């Protein structure tokens, strides 16, 4: 005759409760780990996008500052001879980057004779930014002071002032 050891019922209930608690703790750890990985991934993605946007805006600003310096340096020569309009010199200096990125005001020399403020050129397409409004850099000529100014305009400001500045944004094909 064999006798099986008698396991008290309270002992199996306790073992089941312990096993259940251990399983719930494991599930919580897995869920917590998954949420942590997801959260870190989202934060890294947001930071990467913000950095990309900032780099694009900064790169554009540097190109436009170079253009601004060239315009200001050649302004006196342009006043003596309107055929030597400085935007041609800027386009030659910056090359394809200028032609692909900047929309210039081809009526600038006509408008500069009569208007107080004239838009010389701007970014062809607005720079989109995460958590901030899209915008573009604009070079404005102040006629009375004979100086050029680089300014950032969000798309709302640009839409309001573009016509007044003589800038006509049309999509290139």
DSSP conformation letters of 50-114 = HHHHHHHHHHHHHHHHHHHHHHHHHHHHHHH-TTS-HHHHHHHHHTHHHHHHEEE-TTHHHHHTT
Q: Where are the domains of the chain?
A: 57-165
pLDDT tens digits for range 44-91: 999 999 999 999 999 999 988 988 888 888 777 777 776 666 666 677
- How far is residue 141's CA from residue 51's CA, in Å, rounded to a whole number? 31
What per-residue confidence (pLDDT) applies to 5? 59
pTM above 0.85, yes or no: no
8 A C-beta contact, residue 81 and residue 154: no
- How far is residue 128's CA from residue 78's CA, in Å, rounded to a whole number? 34
Cβ neighbours of residue 53 closer than 8 Å, sequence gap 6 or more: 127, 128, 129, 130
Residue 37 has pLDDT above 90, yes or no: yes
pLDDT tens digits for range 98-151: 777 888 887 777 777 777 888 888 988 899 988 899 999 999 988 888 889 999
**Burial class for 165, CB neighbours closer than 10 Å (0-12, 13-18, 19+):** buried
What per-residue confidence (pLDDT) applies to 173? 39
8 A C-beta contact, residue 107 and residue 162: no
At residue 167, φ and ψ (nearest 5 deg) are -95, 125
**Tokens at 23, concatenated:** 């399983």
- The sign one gets for the Cα dihedral 54, 57, 60, 64 is negative
Return the bridge partners of 119, or none: 140
Highest mean pLDDT among 33-42, 62-71, 159-168: 33-42
């Amino acid at each position: 005759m064999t006798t099986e050891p008698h396991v008290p019922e309270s002992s199996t209930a306790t073992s089941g409760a312990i096993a259940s608690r251990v399983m719930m703790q494991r599930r919580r750890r897995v869920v917590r780990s998954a949420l942590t990985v997801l959260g870190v991934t989202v934060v890294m993605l947001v930071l990467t996008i913000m950095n990309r946007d900032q780099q694009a805006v900064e790169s554009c600003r540097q190109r436009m500052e170079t253009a601004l310096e060239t315009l200001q340096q050649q302004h006196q020569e342009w006043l003596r001879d309107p055929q030597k309009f400085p935007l041609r010199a800027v386009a030659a200096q910056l090359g394809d980057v200028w032609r692909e990125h900047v929309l210039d005001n081809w009526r600038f020399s006509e408008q500069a004779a009569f208007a107080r403020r004239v838009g010389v050129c701007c970014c062809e397409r607005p720079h989109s930014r995460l958590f901030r409004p899209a915008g573009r850099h604009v070079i404005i000529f102040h006629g009375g002071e004979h100086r050029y100014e680089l300014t950032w305009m969000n798309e709302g400001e640009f839409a309001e002032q573009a016509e007044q500045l003589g800038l006509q944004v049309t999509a290139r094909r």
